[in-house]
Amino acid sequence: MTALAATPRNGELGFWMTGQADKRPSFPRFTGQDSVDVAIVGGGYTGLWAAYFAKKLEPSLSVAVFEAEQVGYGASGRNGGWLSAMPAGNRARFARASEGGIEASRALQREFVHGVDAVLDILKAEGIDADQDKGGALVAAHTEAGLGRLVARREADLKYGLTEDESQLIGRNEFQSQINISTVHGGLFYKHCARIHPAKLVYGLADTLTSMGVQIYEGSRVDSVEGKTLTLANGRVSAAKTFICTEGYSGPLLGKRTLIPINSSMIITKPLSDEAWEQIGWNGAKCLNDSAHTFIYSQRTADGRIAMGGRGVPYRFGSGTGGDGATAQSTIDLILHKLSTFFPGIPFEAEHAWSGVLGVTRDWNGGVHWDPASGVGSSTGYAGHGVTAAYVGARTLVELAFEKETERTSLPWVGYRSKKWEPEPLRFLGVHAMYRLFGIADQWEERRGSSQTSLLAKFGSRLAGLHE
């Protein structure tokens, strides 16, 4: 037996947040009336970075963050910890939508590359320890079809702004010398990716903001934003500028058909023995994912565990956001099964499992929006690539709002609008059908050892708006 059928802790905001519970800063609930220069809705990375850059730009500004639950409650406290250079959206689609074409899309890609190092530099300067370690990322192909997709992806990487050195195809042996996955045929190595501990990043940023004089409120849901007025259950705020940073939870404020919450689930193992690590290899902080349609993403944690995520139950009817993130046993079993297939003979045991929601637009492209007339803006729609995107998006939003022209304010995701999602029950049926097709396509490719991507997966991508 390779995977133990244990019952891990489930939900409760996940391992990262529960493990840091004793470091959790406490912030008051907002009541009454107030007037601020900048009001920020949402205490995830986007909201926290937005507060950071507003204060950096002008320390005398009064800046307040209103968080419905607790800082890091959303995806920012629950993610896979990849600080990666992948832009939040499809580069070809951004190129087509932008007057600047491919060059504009390349500039977006370069900003995300710089973003990885920029975040690491800020963490260093602010003394934030989030277990950050830049070791790059490996993408494994388990089939010839998957390898074919990586070859195409690398061509796109080079076309849209990465260099030969930043995106490298590697063979099976080289891959296995870095991470010894039994099923691998070869893969891609990305140079610009760092592993982080998600909750440590949230709390590090929140502490930094407190020392900068930002007021953070928890348990303070904003029910509506009407121009310069924010209405909360027990109060009202007047703000010269408001940034909506609510990602997968954006339905009530930005419209249920603008962004939907797509679910992603994770498990974390108990710490592995030295012998297990010797067999697996995986020295250092390289992040890992694969080219399957139902892909996984993973990191080796600073304390010697494997954290691995996959999709699980993809979407809840009516855009439900899943509370504190309990996930299905079938999803836990699925991810454990992947682990034991990758690394046969190692007895993996899940310590904690959880899920969270990504904000996904109809074509999976994110966008930063600022409306000078109302004084309201947002940065959302990062899909699964939000750790770096939150930094880039928040910084851009602040620059737009304060009329600072920078290399970021003309990037093609600024002002980008996706079309709206279908009403229910169509979007429920569509998203579930897409994931079902992806699952069948993976099985088909694996069983046949296929060198071609399954037509079902191509159809699923079209249905989902991932590719045209």
Ligand X SMILES: Cc1cc2nc3c(=O)[nH]c(=O)nc-3n(C[C@H](O)[C@H](O)[C@H](O)COP(=O)(O)OP(=O)(O)OC[C@H]3O[C@@H](n4cnc5c(N)ncnc54)[C@H](O)[C@@H]3O)c2cc1C
User: At 354, is the secondary structure helix, strand, or coil?
Assistant: strand
347/253 Cα distance (integer angstroms): 45
What does the binding site for ligand X look like in residue numbers (CB under 6 A)?
41-47, 66-69, 73-76, 78-82, 84, 221-222, 245-249, 253, 264, 266, 297, 309, 356-358, 382, 384-388, 390
- Considering beta carbons, is residue 64 or 464 the nearer one to ligand X? 64
- Considering beta carbons, is residue 86 or 456 the nearer one to ligand X? 86
Residue of minimal Cβ distance to ligand X? 386
**Cβ atoms 34, 367 nearer than 8 A:** no
415/409 Cα distance (integer angstroms): 10
- Considering beta carbons, is residue 79 or 461 the nearer one to ligand X? 79
- Considering beta carbons, is residue 246 or 454 the nearer one to ligand X? 246
> What are the DSSP calls for 164-227, one per residue?
TTTEEEEEHHHHHHHB--TT--EEEEESSEEE--HHHHHHHHHHHHHHHT-EEESS--EEEEET
- Considering beta carbons, is residue 145 or 262 the nearer one to ligand X? 262
Q: Which residues contact 173 (CB under 8 A, 6 or more apart)?
A: none
Token code pair at residue 357: 């929601």
Whole-angstrom distance between the N-terminal and C-terminal Cα of the chain?
43
- Kindly compute the dihedral angle of the four CA atoms of residues 442, 314, 287, 117, in this order, to the nearest 10 degrees: 130
Please name which of 97, 417, 437 lies closest in space to residue 257, comparing C-alpha atoms: 417
- Considering beta carbons, is residue 143 or 208 the nearer one to ligand X? 208
467/247 Cα distance (integer angstroms): 22
Nearest approach, Cβ of 390 to ligand X (angstroms)? 5
28/168 Cα distance (integer angstroms): 48
Nearest approach, Cβ of 448 to ligand X (angstroms)? 30
- Considering beta carbons, is residue 47 or 454 the nearer one to ligand X? 47
- Considering beta carbons, is residue 222 or 260 the nearer one to ligand X? 222
Please name which of 461, 450, 136, 427 lies closest in space to residue 300, comparing C-alpha atoms: 136
